[in-house]
Amino acid sequence: MKRGKKDRTGAAAAFRRAGILGAAVLGACALAGGCKGAEEAAKDSIRIGISLYRGDDTFINNIRQELEKCAKAYEQDTGIKVHLDIEEAKGNQYTQNNQVERFIALDCDVLCINPVDRTAASAVIDKAMAGNVPVVFFNRQPVEEDMNRWDELYYVAVSAKESAVLQGQIVVDSYREEPSLLDADGDGVISYALLEGESSHQDSLIRTEWSIQTLKDAGVPIERITGGIANWERSQASALMEQWLVQYPDMIELVICNNDDMALGAIDAMERAGVSGIQVVGIDGTTPGLQAVESGRMMGTVSSDKEAYAQAIFTIAADKALGRNVAEDIALEDGKYYNCPQKIVKYIKNSYKNE
Ligand code: GAL
């Protein structure tokens, strides 16, 4: 989609949608022609090094696509050329560390890092500090101690607790509207299975805890049948669900999933086994996740605003590359954290039938 000069406010509009209001919200993309400082005027191109923990993660790929759109829009708006060097670390921290070294050798102005091992961000930080290259981490949160090592470190994500509370709310609302949808056998209790992401990921633990807590707080009667770790992956979730359908026949009424890909994996297994009537909830609002909700195969998901997410990463990166004051363009918590907005997406017709 082409974005002409008249559309310069697109980024700011995205931030307004994101709930960050007023003057604090002029995204870097929206700052067309606004770079008046001598240092800024001198720069006609910026180089951003991006490393993704894996290239085959659906949600991360959605963010990558939005980042590429941001860069294009920014070039059109400002005339400043944006070089995005995007690498995939294939789940290997050592590979990612080498990518960081290469980015610095290539003279990248700023790095955007989706860490493989969030507890091992110190190696990335060491290299960035030595090369004096600011870092915007995203999605996999470095420990606070690491984040506090340098004032040129930022972190963009969605709040795991908020995702979980909203996910719990989908179930609470559906149960209140139509209890039989979730309590299919009518025994007064929702029997659920849980699919969790990587055990080392901050989102897995927090999402699991708060999703269940939200149901308990609302007084929804629940009983855990089983659960397992599927590492965010559709195929792993599908294999687990296939096993559970055999192990717990006619017992599972709801599958609570830490993300959409695992929810889709559970649905794949149900479809293969010809099982219907089990409700499934996810988190992310990925493209296939939203399609599954729209078609009624998934009861609901919590969709993060990917445009605002990528815009936040890009705004910080572009500001850093141009020597601008980030605080003028985006409201950050503690001067370094940004949480992207998210919302509930729910299947409207309360009659999920997988037939
Ligand atoms: C989570 C997301 C998952 C996966 C993971 C990767 O926040 O919900 O789908 O992308 O990050 O770190």
Q: How far apart are CA 200 and CA 78, in angstroms?
A: 40
234 and 201 fall within a common domain: yes
Task: Tell which atom from ligand 1 comes closest to the C-alpha of 60.
Answer: 10
Atom from ligand 1 closest to the CA of residue 59: 10
Q: Does the beta carbon of 284 sit less than 6 angstroms from any atom of ligand 1?
A: yes
Q: Report the phi/psi class of residue 231: left, alpha or beta, with left for phi > 0 and alpha for psi in -120 to 50.
A: left
- Total of domains in the chain: 2
Distance CA 73, CA 106 (A): 24
Quote the pTM value.
0.88
Indicate whether 351 belongs to any domain.
Answer: no
The CATH number given to whatever domain includes residue 295 is 3.40.50.2300
Does residue 331 share a domain with residue 246?
no
259 CA to middle of ligand 1, Å? 7
Shortest CA distance to 109 belongs to which of 88, 87, 144, 81?
81
Q: Is 207 in the pocket of ligand 1 (CB under 6 A)?
A: no
Distance 225 CA to ligand 1 centre (A): 24
- In terms of domains, do 190 and 61 share one? no
Q: Across residues 138-153, what is the average pLDDT?
A: 97
CA of 158, closest atom in ligand 1 = 7
Q: Let me know whether 243 and 116 are in one domain.
A: no
**pLDDT tens digits, one per residue of 323-352:** 999 999 999 999 999 999 999 999 986 444
Strands (E) in the chain, as ranges, are 45-52, 81-88, 110-113, 135-138, 153-157, 190-196, 222-229, 254-257, 279-281, 300-304, 337-339, 342-346
Same domain flag for 204 and 314: no
Q: Is 331 a member of any domain?
A: yes
Q: Do both 211 and 263 map to the same domain?
A: yes
Q: Is residue 134 part of a domain?
A: yes
- Residue 196 CB less than 6 A away from ligand 1: no
In this structure, is residue 55 part of a structural domain? yes
Same domain, 197 and 266: yes
Q: What is the C-alpha to C-alpha distance for residues 210 and 169, in angstroms, rounded to an integer?
A: 10
Is residue 1 a part of any domain in this protein?
Answer: no
CA 179 to ligand 1 center in whole angstroms: 30
Each residue's pLDDT tens digit, 185-239: 999 999 999 999 999 999 999 999 999 999 999 999 999 999 999 999 999 999 9
Does 212 share its domain with 136? no
Residue 271 and residue 190 share a domain:
yes
- Host domain of residue 245: 161-303
> In a mutational test of the pocket of ligand 1, which residue from 54, 137, 201, 236 has the highest number of ligand atoms less than 8 Å from its CB?
201
144 shares a domain with 12? yes
Does 138 share its domain with 36? yes
CA distance linking residue 251 with residue 190, whole number of Å = 10
State the average pLDDT for the chain: 89
Ligand 1 nearest-atom number relative to CA 260: 9
Verify that 143 and 217 share a domain, yes or no.
Answer: no
User: What is the reported pLDDT for 348?
Assistant: 80
Q: Could you tell me if the CB of 139 is within 6 A of ligand 1?
A: yes
- Give bridge partners of residue 192 from the DSSP assignment: 224, 254
